[in-house]
């Protein structure tokens, strides 16, 4: 049983102003795995004031000083690799192999990327007599989700550290263990007091306090579109900068060529990864109508090879994170059947042989039309909707016919055609044939959010722009 009953504020582990606790469930066993203290507005106020105090000196540090701190954080993170992987598996059910191969390395990757970007990042630019200066935005509040906990913490914290900002983190109360260990890493790395602070808590209390606090300059939120809208409303009276990475319903357009079967198989694997709990999952697969039967056959075979079970065992998928999430997914699977989609494999209920844990069957629907609920709503589970198209133009139109715009995917043996389709997809990040890049900007169009994370684009989210005119006056003639 883990007990994380203190918060990290001003370089120290401190007691809550008033102790209230929350039990944290292991979704594989449905048993309590630990407890955390739930913060209050008073705890947030202490953390924000510590960050504000630290900003005066941290914002003036040199590139070299911040590089040294990032290096120490990365070294301590690597030391705690095993602890982090165990925590992620326990708190949100990621298979141990996925935790070790992707969940924990993702955080490490963002720390290393931020350090590499910082080495050459241009904070100043002389334009005639004027100097354009990029300066840290100030005190930042970070509200992070449970699905890729370390990825989302590190992709905010690393560029904030690199640009000279100070911060208060609220990890998800659903999966808080890895976030707590991350705070221990920051302490062990000797991050100056007040630069990084962490308060556990829920959205309605700590999240709202972080969004509304008058001394917070920027709020960065990752989560559902519904919650992101509330964060923006709460931040608006303070005219804070708001960065949001929200929901998605990403199209995956498979073109009619020799890479068809491979593209379908790749799409199935991508959707099912992390039990479908990824905002950029390619959940809408668009295939030529004449090849729907072939797509169904390939997808069925691929999905039925996926094993589901104990995340500490040799399985591809663990549980989804909670009973609330499980119930939502089950309701949407039933809705797909009711609305006339072809249930290819999977369906409602737990997989055979599993009588406890929030496990979901890898599910594929075929012959899905764009008006069906499973084509419109973000399911956030291992559920794929295969949709027909009669022309590539129709595929692009259907792909773009969504309130979201986080990601898009194209599968093709013809790179020229794939590039053309990719340019026409209205989304913040488009992948051709499974390509990925941790330095590429990540973020969405439309209701998928605003702003960008990852690589050098993340730095700009944490910087203000100042013009100093007359900085370099012309010499008198």
The answer to whether 184 is a known catalytic residue is no
Residue 39 DSSP class: P
From the list 118, 115, 141, 149, the residue with the least C-alpha distance to 50 is 141
Q: Per the residue annotation, which of 140, 155, 165, 279 is the catalytic one?
A: 279
Rg (CA), the chain: 23
User: Integer distance in angstroms from the first to the last C-alpha of the chain?
Assistant: 77
From the list 270, 268, 223, 275, the residue with the least C-alpha distance to 94 is 275
Q: Per the residue annotation, which of 245, 378, 453, 461 is the catalytic one?
A: 245
Joined tokens for residue 466? 């100042």
Residue ranges in 121-224 assigned as alpha helix (H) = 149-163, 177-188, 208-212
Give 282's contacts (C-beta < 8 A, 6+ positions apart).
250, 251, 252, 267, 270, 271, 407, 409
Mutual angle of helices 104-120 and 149-163, in 10-degree steps: 20
From the list 65, 326, 381, the residue with the least C-alpha distance to 195 is 65
Give 245's contacts (C-beta < 8 A, 6+ positions apart).
152, 221, 222, 279, 406, 442, 443, 444, 448, 449, 451, 453
Long-range contacts formed by 204-209: CB under 8 A, 24+ apart? 205/38, 205/39, 205/40, 205/41, 206/38, 206/39, 206/40, 206/41, 206/43, 206/44, 206/170, 207/143, 207/170, 207/231, 208/41, 208/234, 209/40, 209/41, 209/44, 209/45
CA 419, 378, 280, 315 dihedral sign is negative
Joined tokens for residue 275? 């039990």
d(CA 58, CA 327): 45
Give 433's contacts (C-beta < 8 A, 6+ positions apart).
259, 263, 266, 410, 411, 412, 418
Is the separation of the CB atoms in 9 and 166 below 8 Å? no
Give 416's contacts (C-beta < 8 A, 6+ positions apart).
none
The answer to whether 279 is a known catalytic residue is yes
Q: Which residue has the tokens 């959707």?
A: 271
Active site residues: 245, 279
């Amino acid at each position: 049983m883990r007990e994380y009953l203190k918060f990290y504020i001003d370089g120290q582990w401190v007691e809550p102003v008033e102790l209230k606790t929350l039990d944290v469930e292991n979704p594989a066993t449905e048993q309590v795995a630990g407890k955390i203290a739930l913060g209050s507005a008073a705890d947030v106020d202490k953390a924000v004031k510590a960050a504000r105090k630290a900003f005066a000196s941290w914002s003036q540090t040199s590139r070299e000083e911040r590089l040294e701190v990032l290096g120490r954080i990365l070294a301590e993170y690597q030391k705690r690799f095993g602890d982090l992987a165990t925590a992620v598996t326990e708190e949100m059910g990621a298979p141990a192999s996925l935790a070790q191969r992707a969940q924990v390395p993702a955080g490490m990757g963002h720390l290393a990327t931020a350090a590499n970007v910082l080495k050459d990042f241009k904070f100043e630019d002389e334009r005639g007599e004027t100097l354009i200066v990029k300066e840290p935005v100030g005190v930042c509040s970070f509200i992070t989700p449970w699905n890729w906990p370390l990825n989302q913490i590190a992709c905010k914290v690393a560029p904030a550290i690199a640009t000279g900002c100070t911060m208060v983190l609220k990890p998800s109360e659903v999966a808080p263990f890895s976030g707590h260990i991350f705070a221990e890493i920051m302490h062990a790395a000797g991050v100056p007091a007040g630069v990084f602070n962490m308060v556990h808590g829920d959205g309605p209390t700590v999240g709202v306090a972080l969004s509304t606090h008058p001394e917070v300059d920027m709020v960065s939120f990752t989560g559902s579109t519904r919650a992101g809208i509330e964060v923006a409303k709460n931040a608006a009276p303070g005219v804070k900068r708001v960065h949001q990475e929200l929901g998605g319903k990403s199209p995956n357009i498979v073109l009619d060529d020799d890479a068809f079967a491979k593209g379908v198989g790749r799409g199935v694997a991508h959707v099912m990864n992390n039990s479908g709990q990824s905002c950029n999952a390619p959940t809408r697969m668009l295939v030529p109508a004449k090849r729907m039967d072939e797509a169904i056959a390939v997808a069925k075979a691929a999905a039925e090879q996926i094993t589901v079970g104990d995340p500490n065992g040799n399985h591809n998928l663990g549980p989804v994170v909670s009973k609330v999430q499980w119930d939502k997914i089950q309701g949407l699977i039933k809705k797909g059947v009711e609305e006339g989609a072809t249930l290819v494999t999977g369906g409602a209920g737990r997989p055979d042989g599993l009588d406890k844990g929030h496990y979901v069957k890898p599910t594929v629907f075929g012959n899905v039309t764009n008006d069906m609920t499973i084509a419109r709503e973000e399911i956030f589970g291992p559920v794929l909707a295969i949709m027909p198209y009669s022309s590539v133009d129709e595929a692009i139109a259907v792909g773009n016919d969504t309130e979201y715009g986080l990601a898009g995917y194209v599968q093709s043996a013809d790179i020229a055609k794939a590039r053309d389709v990719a340019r026409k997809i209205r989304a913040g990040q488009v992948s051709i044939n499974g390509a990925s890049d941790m330095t590429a900007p990540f973020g969405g169009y439309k209701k998928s959010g605003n702003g960008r994370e990852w690589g050098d684009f993340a730095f700009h989210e944490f910087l203000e722009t100042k013009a100093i005119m007359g900085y370099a006056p012309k010499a008198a003639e």
